[in-house]
Amino acid sequence: LYGVARSAKALRAYTRGYILMMKLTLAYLYPREMNTYGDRGNVICLQKRLEWRGYKLDIVEHQPGDKLPVQVDMVFMGGGQDSGQAVIDTDFKRVAPWLRELAEANVPMLTICGAYQLFGHSFEMLDGSELQGIGILDVTTRAQTARLIGNLHIETEDFGTIIGFENHSGRTYLGPRAEPLGRVTMGAGNNGEDKTEGTRYRNIIGTYSHGPVLPKNPRLADWLIGRMPGIMSTKLEPLDDPYIDAARASAGARPR
């Protein structure tokens, strides 16, 4: 009996170790071209919040021409200049069917600024030319000469107040199938007209919020983590981190 009990104890310890070391995969699209205003910090935030819970996040950085990963638990793509968007355009169209398949399978995605625009239908340039998006998000964007710059507060139903920073010349308009991420109480948001900011579709978030957005908004970060296929069947334990609360309070007190 002692041997059986000892074996059972070892099995439980092994099982716990396997769970704690469970690996998840994040596809980070175009980190060289699409990484402005600290957007890479979102990836670091996800990695650390998973690590603190005993998970390992493998980050697969995808550049133009790379082979696509077989399986991913989340996709992230940051913002970039118009020149960066032009560099990735051909490859982005190549991977579009893969991204659409992941979207319909409810794989979570976070798209920031330029990525948010490219996940929509189109981006109309100042010269009248049009950059086609991949149409996962029901939004269209038009360039303007004046930029919308400053600290950003977004009131949301599921994540409370999202605190971020915006810097964009594009004006994004939601289509009939688009649900806004939230409504701005400070800043311009999607277009400076209708008080909307960002959009949501299935488990995809599109937003203009740089900063990066996730370290200052742990509820949003954990919502994305909780929808990763490798996490959904488990209970996501909350994290007690007073430094995050202090950082949010400091960031939230800044003027526009």
Active site residues: 113, 210
Residue in the block written with tokens 């107040």 = 161
Q: What is the 3-state secondary structure (H, E, C) of 71-118?
A: CCCEEEECCCCHHHHHHHHHHHHHHHHHHHHHHHCCCCEEEECHHHHH
CA dihedral 20, 21, 24, 26 (to 10 degrees): 110
| DSSP at 173 | E
CA–CA gap between residue 203 and residue 99 (Å, rounded): 12
Report the distance separating Cα 208 and Cα 152, nearest Å.
9
Token readout for 124 is: 């109309």
